[in-house]
């Protein structure tokens, strides 16, 4: 099923979508957890992203330039594009097929929409909460990639094929872990049972 591109993008050539299990939490609580979620706290995700970052680290080891400390890649790397009652959209711009990903610093949504370098691709990561019967919600994550030229698309395609399985796995684990953390927070917030000591 084709999804209309988010209004932050002119179009898209690559996409993926994953849904969570039904959650007995409000949309606002779910998105609040997404906003504070640390991808690197999961050892599997951290391992996959560390492997992805190794080319850059090796490049730094063999370079004559002084090494510069870089923050580990995570959701904080993205630019906030939109936060509504049921949706959180994040943006990323870069030459993702390069060893260093060629990321471009984008300060806000206006700069993201105005960015017009045809040698780079734009990515939108959207988290969307949909209410379901039984007072439950589904959290959906969608990724859209826009390549402005045929050449950019050709450069991105092999990279997409190479990382597609790992990317899908990370998205699925993210949904699962957000659900688990919400359940853990709810359990810890419950008052202790008064049946003890009786």
| Nearest partner of 122 among 150, 91, 152, 97, judged by Cα | 91
The backbone torsions φ and ψ at residue 156, rounded to the nearest 5 degrees and listed phi first, read -75, -35
- List the 87-94 sheet strands across, edge first: 14-19, 136-146, 121-132, 87-94, 79-83
The backbone torsions φ and ψ at residue 178, rounded to the nearest 5 degrees and listed phi first, read -60, -45
Which domains are seen in the chain, by residue range?
Answer: 14-53+74-185 (3.30.530)
pLDDT value at 189 more than 50: yes
Please tell me the predicted confidence (pLDDT) of residue 67: 44
**Per-residue pLDDT tens digits for 63-109:** 555 445 456 777 888 999 999 999 999 999 999 999 888 999 999 99
pTM value?
0.83
d(C-alpha 174, C-alpha 179), whole Å: 9
Positive or negative, the CA dihedral 39, 45, 46, 51 is negative
**Per-residue pLDDT tens digits for 9-55:** 889 999 999 999 999 999 999 999 999 998 888 777 778 777 766 55
Q: 82: which 2 tokens?
A: 């939109």
Task: Please give the span between the terminal C-alpha atoms of the chain, in angstroms, as a whole number.
Answer: 58
- 139 close to 129: Cβ distance less than 8 angstroms: yes
E strands, the chain, are 14-19, 79-83, 87-94, 121-132, 136-146
**Per-residue pLDDT tens digits for 106-163:** 999 999 999 999 999 999 999 999 999 888 999 999 999 999 999 999 999 999 998 8
């Amino acid at each position: 099923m084709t999804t209309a591109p988010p209004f932050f993008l002119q179009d898209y050539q690559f996409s993926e979508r994953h849904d969570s299990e039904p959650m007995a939490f409000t949309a606002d609580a779910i998105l609040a957890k997404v906003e504070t979620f640390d991808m690197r706290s999961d050892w599997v995700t951290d391992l996959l992203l560390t492997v992805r970052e190794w080319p850059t680290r090796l490049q730094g080891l063999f370079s004559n330039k002084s090494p510069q400390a870089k923050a580990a890649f995570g959701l904080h790397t993205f630019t906030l594009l939109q936060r509504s009652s049921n949706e959180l959209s994040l943006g990323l711009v870069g030459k993702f097929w390069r060893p260093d990903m060629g990321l471009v610093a984008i300060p806000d949504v206006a700069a993201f929409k105005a960015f017009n370098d045809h040698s780079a691709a734009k990515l939108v990561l959207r988290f969307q909460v949909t209410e379901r019967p039984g007072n439950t919600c589904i959290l959906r994550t969608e990724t859209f990639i826009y390549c402005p030229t045929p050449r950019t698309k050709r450069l991105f395609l092999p990279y997409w094929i190479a990382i597609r399985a790992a990317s899908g796995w990370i998205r699925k684990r993210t949904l699962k872990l957000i659900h688990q953390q919400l359940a853990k927070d709810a359990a810890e917030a419950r008052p202790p049972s008064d049946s003890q000591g009786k």
